[in-house]
Amino acid sequence: MIRTALMCLMMMLSTGTALAAGDTTAGKTKAATCTACHGPDGNSINPEWPSLAGQNERYLATQIMDFQAGETRKNVMMEPMIANLTDQDVADIAAYYASLPRRGLFADEEQLEMIRDGEKLYRGGNQDKGIAACMGCHGPAGNGNSLAGFPSVGNQHAKYTAMQLRAFRSGERMNDLNAMMRDVSERLTDYEIDAVSAYLSGLN
């Protein structure tokens, strides 16, 4: 838990690799093909596909480049869509989606107990299992940290968030810095993954 918290702090103090400056106007045009899955305003309807609106620019650019590399993050649907994007294209698309407002989601009232458990984990972690509070990196409101490249996780589809946590846990997804997310997710039960994902879906 201490290791993860310290790593978050170190990344927050670092600006990371410089990215090309993005043009939101150009990005809107270049993102036209993305709308089929991620929505015309960056808010997806399918709970298995992420809403990109309001996501941190650095994080978005990194994910696209990781999909292009096809090593630490893979997706058969994404790879052909972004294969021919240049670094400038990536920067423009990331800037465009980062500029859009994310639509608020409403937590399922039938899952109130699970949501409360998810809130406890997100805000306080689990000392017995060595799990640091999620908000240490992702912030009290789930906005993430743009300079460090930590994603915004609030108002994201619960199903998508849970899928990503399970992908980290299984090792299917490996593009987390210094294996931070894999280290955390390996300590989470299925219930805890679903609980924190349900809580995040209504966090704004």
| DSSP bridge partners of 150 | 145
pLDDT at position 1 is 53
159 token code pair: 């199903």
What is the CATH topology of the domain spanning 2-12+105-201?
Cytochrome Bc1 Complex; Chain D, domain 2 (1.10.760)
pLDDT at position 110 is 84
pLDDT at position 16 is 54
**Domain 24-98 is in which class?**
mainly alpha
Q: Is 158 exposed, middle or buried (0-12, 13-18, 19+ CB in 10 A)?
A: buried
Q: Which residues 6+ apart lie within 8 Å of 138 measured at CB?
A: 122, 144, 145, 150, 151, 152, 153
Q: Which of 120, 121, 115 is nearest to 187 (CA)?
A: 121
**Three-state DSSP class for 204?**
coil
CATH 1.10.760.10 domain span(s) along the chain:
2-12+105-201, 24-98
91 and 97 in contact (C-beta within 8 Å)?
Answer: no
Global confidence as pTM: 0.91
User: Residue with structure tokens 């993005």?
Assistant: 22
Q: Across the 204 residues of the chain, what is the mean pLDDT of every consecutive 10-residue run?
A: 53 58 97 98 98 98 98 97 98 98 84 97 97 98 95 98 99 97 98 98 92
pLDDT at position 135 is 98
Distance CA 177, CA 174 (A): 9
